[in-house]
């Protein structure tokens, strides 16, 4: 008697609506969300790129442990990411208060900053694969009205660097070199390459949609 292969489970170790939207854009829907509850403070003298890699790895490992406790069956792919914004070695905090967001925007005004997104994937074999994507973004010189009105929009809350490039702050960007989706929160090219490299069928929903179209 043959048995049906277990459906591979994709777990996103994040509750970020931006990352969910980006995966949906690529035709991928996680089976489960397991946001990591951890201290994201940088270590003493930690470089921004090292922080992004460390946090992505830690979030993936926390989700793997949670899955073991939940005893989720079948092959599992655990995906995690973390985005860090910096000017030089200065890490811009995720803004939770308006004063933090204002300070961030004043620092970024008229300057080029770097956005690092670390991506970590734990495949069914338990192996960990990582990528780090660096993007350079230059803002125009922000007026006081620019900053005040952006703060009033509330888009900055909880965002790395105190802004969301996919929203109103997109109008601040003079130049971007690198990955736009990485600045939003998840570099699609590198993420899909990681998934495909571990054997996850990234085209499954694409093929399903094509089949529905043919039978319509």
User: Residue 136: its pLDDT value, please?
Assistant: 98
Tokens 């094509």 found at: 210
Q: How far, in Å, CA of 15 to CA of 41, rounded?
A: 19
pLDDT in tens, 84-118: 999 999 999 888 999 999 999 999 999 999 999 99
User: Residue 215: its pLDDT value, please?
Assistant: 55
User: Residue 210: its pLDDT value, please?
Assistant: 64
Could you say which of 2.60.40.420, 3.40.50.1100, 3.90.950.10, 3.40.190.10 is the CATH number of the domain covering 9-215?
3.90.950.10
In 10 A of CB 58, how many CB atoms?
19
Per the DSSP assignment, residues forming a β-bridge with 129 are 121
Tokens 């074999």 found at: 125
Instruction: Report which DSSP code applies to 169.
Output: G
Q: Which stretches of the chain drop beneath a pLDDT of 70?
A: 1-6, 209-216
Quick check: is 148 catalytic?
Answer: no
Of the candidates 56, 73, 169, the one whose C-alpha atom is nearest the C-alpha of residue 122 is 56
User: Residue 212: its pLDDT value, please?
Assistant: 62
User: Residue 193: its pLDDT value, please?
Assistant: 97
Alpha helices per DSSP H over the chain: 17-25, 48-70, 98-108, 144-153, 180-184, 188-197, 204-215
Task: Tell me the whole-structure pTM to 2 decimals.
Answer: 0.91
Domain ranges of the chain: 9-215
The catalytic residue among 37, 39, 82, 148 is 82
């Amino acid at each position: 008697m043959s048995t049906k292969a277990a459906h591979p489970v994709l777990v996103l170790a994040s509750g970020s609506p931006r990352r969910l939207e980006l995966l949906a854009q690529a035709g991928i829907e996680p089976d489960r969300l397991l946001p990591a509850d951890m201290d994201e403070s940088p270590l003493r003298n930690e470089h921004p790129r090292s922080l992004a890699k460390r946090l992505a790895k830690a979030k993936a490992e926390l989700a793997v442990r949670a899955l073991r406790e939940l005893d989720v069956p079948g092959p599992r792919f655990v995906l995690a990411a973390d985005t860090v914004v910096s000017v030089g070695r200065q890490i811009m905090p995720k803004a939770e208060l308006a004063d933090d967001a204002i300070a961030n925007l004043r620092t970024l005004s008229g300057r080029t900053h770097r956005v690092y997104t670390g991506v970590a994937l734990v495949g069914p074999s338990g192996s960990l694969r990582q990528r780090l994507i660096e993007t350079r973004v230059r803002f125009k010189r922000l007026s006081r009205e620019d900053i005040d009105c952006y703060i009033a929009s509330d888009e900055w809350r909880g965002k790395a660097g105190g802004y969301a490039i996919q929203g109103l702050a997109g109008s601040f960007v003079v130049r971007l070199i690198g990955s736009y989706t990485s600045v939003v929160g998840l570099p699609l090219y590198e993420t899909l390459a990681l998934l495909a490299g571990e054997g996850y069928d990234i085209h499954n929903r694409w093929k399903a949609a094509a089949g529905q179209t043919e039978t319509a």
